[in-house]
Amino acid sequence: MKHTVILSLAGGALASFTGNINYFSPSLNHPELGVSIRKVAARTYAKSPWDPKVLNFTHGVASGDPYEDSVILWTRIAPTSDNDKSNVTVSGHVDLFSHEVDDYIKASKAPVCVDWKISTTKDLKTLANSGTAYTSSDVDFTVKVEARKLQPFTQYYYQFTVCDSNNTSPLGRTKTIPAKDGKASQPIKLAVYSCSNYPFGFFNAYGNTVRKDSVDYVIHLGDYIYEYKNGDYGWGDAYGRVPEPNNEIHTLYDYRKRIAQYRTDLDLYASHQQFPWIPVWDDHEVADNTWKAGSAHLNNSEDSFLAAGGISADQRKMNAVRAYFEWMPIRQYDRDVTDVYYNTHFTQAISDDTNRSLMGPRQEQWFYRMLRESSRRGTAWRVVGNQIIFSRLNQSGSYNMDAWDGYQANRNRTFANLYDHKINNTLFLAGDSHASWVSDLVWLGEHAYDNVTGAGSVGVEFAGSAVSSPSPVGQNITLANANARSAAMVAANRELQWQDFYYRGYYELSIGYDAVNASFFGVPTTKTRNGYEISLSNFTVLAGANRLQRSVSHGVVESGALQSGKPTGTNLTHDTATGKWFVFKE
């Protein structure tokens, strides 16, 4: 019986622990950051003390990082909803994540066994694959497996079960991506999100696509969590959403607890259960504007070290990355001056330095090579998901150095690759700014551009607003004032075709061979959990055009500012929960 007996022969136990990817390092290049499976197996009880009845699937299920023949499946099965406190990084003259300290060893002797299966049918009778994996407090009782031998662009259902019991997880749904050299039978549909801040309100945007069942995959472009205590960036008291733990997070337990709390939001829970996610972190998954030697508020000085409770910047990053890897349905990672506010004028001064690279030289060259190879292979579209706005933003001051505007030489090299190699059908996706931006991609000063027709553009950028984080021009700004700010921004940037500062929300992409259609949605309120959304704007990019189709958004948007057109301001709202339409009033 698998739930009561851990094989006394190490080989059998090792195999089931190895089936759980979360014991590995988050990075293939840094195996030392993994959890030693041999040591875990060696100290586990011969018999597990857990009765299946006391074990709970505390946060449902999730899937992500789909390939054409495999996908990552995730769950958490634990005797408690709290997160593990024992596996903290240690201090003194021992390695980070040492597996020999007493607290760690005492907490790691009781593994949990789960079976998993994946099927093309809801009743799970037509199995595509199945397996067994162990978890323990070493990885916060999380389980992450790779379901292999799947078919391309196919929908699957999956479930976990405590071994030798009828204690099952919720049923999850997922989907593989189209074959690399094949042809998709229908348009690929994506929902694109970023910047979800728990104390600023409910994550209604996540749930709207679930209620509509309108996409195949979710793209998340970063700031999945925020690191602040209550009041530092949002007060959660009024909504019952005070951050846990209620302090700025630094330890491994802190990061586990914060992600776990976010995952209790019912709409985020549902989105992970219904769709495979393709996420990338930005900075707040660790701390604001994290860089190699610190962050905006932790700069590896003695004062910041003491203020962080004696946790160094490197250790904090390791804690954050380990917790993110445990809790997100992602694979191991295969594969730098940052604006930290106090040096904004410095980063502005060096923003066009030819040696500056946002990605680093190795990743930058890989990126250009992938663009060229994708084009030569005849791939219909190149969709580049990145955290920050790629397009130039002409505005007063040095506001936008925390974006590609702070790395102009790197951006120019990207433009050069697109223009010089005649790479068509390139779309950039971005988040981060808490506002919506839609632009033709133009290397101004090097290539002529007609903003009326779009001639001279080499691609298009869609950048979305936040799930709940506030507008960058004021948390309580009025619609009229926000639209005035948007109008000024559009007037100052010829390639910026539409901009909106007012609404929280997301956007959906429908990617076909002949065209890509983008639809932006605004969430009128995050103060309560609801299914409300407002259609803000709609855009089309025709294959081979490399620009937004004119007239842009048919000359009509709900809010913000358009190069050629005006906002209607109807407040016509769709309740995705009931299907009803109404005029929203705060």
CA–CA–CA angle 241, 520, 483 (5° rounding)? 85
Equal CATH topology for 1-177 and 344-583: no
Q: Tell me the Ramachandran region of residue 522: left when phi exceeds 0, alpha when psi lies from -120 to 50, beta otherwise.
A: beta
User: What's the rounded mean pLDDT across residues 339-346?
Assistant: 38
Q: What is the pLDDT at residue 167?
A: 96
Least confident of 128-132, 147-151, 338-342: 338-342
Least confident of 214-228, 344-358, 443-457, 458-472: 344-358
**Spatial CA neighbour of 499 closest among 548, 558, 549:** 558
Q: What is the pLDDT at residue 308?
A: 63
Q: How confident is the model at residue 67 (pLDDT cuts 50, 70, 90)?
A: very high
Dump pLDDT digits (tens) for 134-159: 999 889 999 999 999 999 999 999 99
Percent of the chain whose predicted confidence (pLDDT) is above 90: 70
Least confident of 16-20, 160-164, 447-451, 570-574: 16-20
> Distance (Å, rounded) from C-alpha 121 to C-alpha 114?
21
Paired with 64 in beta bridges are 72, 277
- Asked if the model's pLDDT at residue 463 lies above 70, the reply is yes
> Distance (Å, rounded) from C-alpha 211 to C-alpha 193?
16
Output b/e per residue, 51-72; b: 16+ Cβ within 10 A: ebeebbbbbbbbbbbbbbebbb
- Asked if the model's pLDDT at residue 375 lies above 60, the reply is yes
CA–CA–CA angle 249, 196, 518 (5° rounding)? 150
Assign 3-state DSSP to the chain and report helix, strand, coil percentages, each to 5. Answer: 25, 25, 50
Higher per-residue confidence, 196 vs 15: 196
User: What's the rounded mean pLDDT across residues 508-530?
Assistant: 98
> Distance (Å, rounded) from C-alpha 43 to C-alpha 64?
32
| Cα 337 → chain centroid | 23
- Asked if the model's pLDDT at residue 518 lies above 90, the reply is yes
- Asked if the model's pLDDT at residue 245 lies above 60, the reply is yes
Q: What is the pLDDT at residue 16?
A: 83
pTM of the model: 0.91
Q: What is the pLDDT at residue 5?
A: 41
Q: Which helix (H) or strand (E) holds 346?
A: helix 344-349
Q: What is the pLDDT at residue 541?
A: 99
- Spatial contact of 273 and 263, defined as CB atoms under 8 Å apart: no
User: Of the CATH numbers 3.40.190.10, 3.40.50.10310, 3.40.50.150, 3.60.21.70, which one belongs to the domain with range 344-583?
Assistant: 3.60.21.70
- The hierarchical CATH code for the domain 1-177 is 2.60.40.380
> Distance (Å, rounded) from C-alpha 60 to C-alpha 64?
14
- Asked if the model's pLDDT at residue 252 lies above 80, the reply is yes
Paired with 117 in beta bridges are 130, 159
**CA distance from start to end of the chain:** 57
Q: Tell me the Ramachandran region of residue 132: left when phi exceeds 0, alpha when psi lies from -120 to 50, beta otherwise.
A: beta
Q: What is the pLDDT at residue 342?
A: 36
Q: What is the DSSP string of 382-418?
A: EEEE-SS--S----STTGGGSSGGG-HHHHHHHHHHH
Residue 334, token pair as written in the block: 């295969």
Dump pLDDT digits (tens) for 384-423: 999 999 998 886 554 555 778 878 899 999 999 999 999 9
Q: What is the pLDDT at residue 299?
A: 64
Q: How confident is the model at residue 31 (pLDDT cuts 50, 70, 90)?
A: confident
| Cα 265 → chain centroid | 16
Please enumerate in sequence order all residues whose Cβ is within 8 A of that of 306, keeping only pairs 6 or more positions apart, or say none.
Answer: none
Residue located via tokens 């921004």: 489
Residue located via tokens 């901009």: 499
Q: How confident is the model at residue 189 (pLDDT cuts 50, 70, 90)?
A: very high
**Spatial CA neighbour of 191 closest among 422, 446, 465:** 465
Distances (CA, A) of 371 to 181, 377, 417: 16, 10, 8
- The segment with the largest mean pLDDT, out of 93-97, 104-108, 394-398, 450-454, is 450-454
Q: What is the pLDDT at residue 360?
A: 82
Q: Tell me the Ramachandran region of residue 579: left when phi exceeds 0, alpha when psi lies from -120 to 50, beta otherwise.
A: left
Handedness of CA 265, 269, 271, 272 (dihedral sign): positive
Q: What is the pLDDT at residue 536?
A: 98
Paired with 577 in beta bridges are none
Q: Where are the beta strands (DSSP E) in 464-542?
A: 496-500, 504-511, 515-523, 532-542
User: What's the rounded mean pLDDT across residues 464-486?
Assistant: 97
Dump pLDDT digits (tens) for 280-335: 999 899 987 666 666 666 666 656 666 667 788 888 889 999 999 999 999 998 75
- Asked if the model's pLDDT at residue 356 lies above 90, the reply is no
How much is the mean pLDDT over the chain? 88
Assign 3-class secondary structure to 174-197: EECCCCCCCCCCCCEEEEEECCCC
Q: What is the pLDDT at residue 404?
A: 80
Higher per-residue confidence, 213 vs 30: 213
Percent of the chain whose predicted confidence (pLDDT) is above 70: 83
Q: What is the pLDDT at residue 344?
A: 44
User: What's the rounded mean pLDDT across residues 220-226?
Assistant: 97
SS3 state at 479: helix
Least confident of 96-110, 118-132, 274-288, 490-504: 96-110
- Asked if the model's pLDDT at residue 256 lies above 90, the reply is yes
Per-domain boundaries in the chain? 1-177, 344-583
Least confident of 89-93, 508-512, 527-531: 89-93
- Asked if the model's pLDDT at residue 543 lies above 90, the reply is yes
- Spatial contact of 471 and 477, defined as CB atoms under 8 Å apart: yes
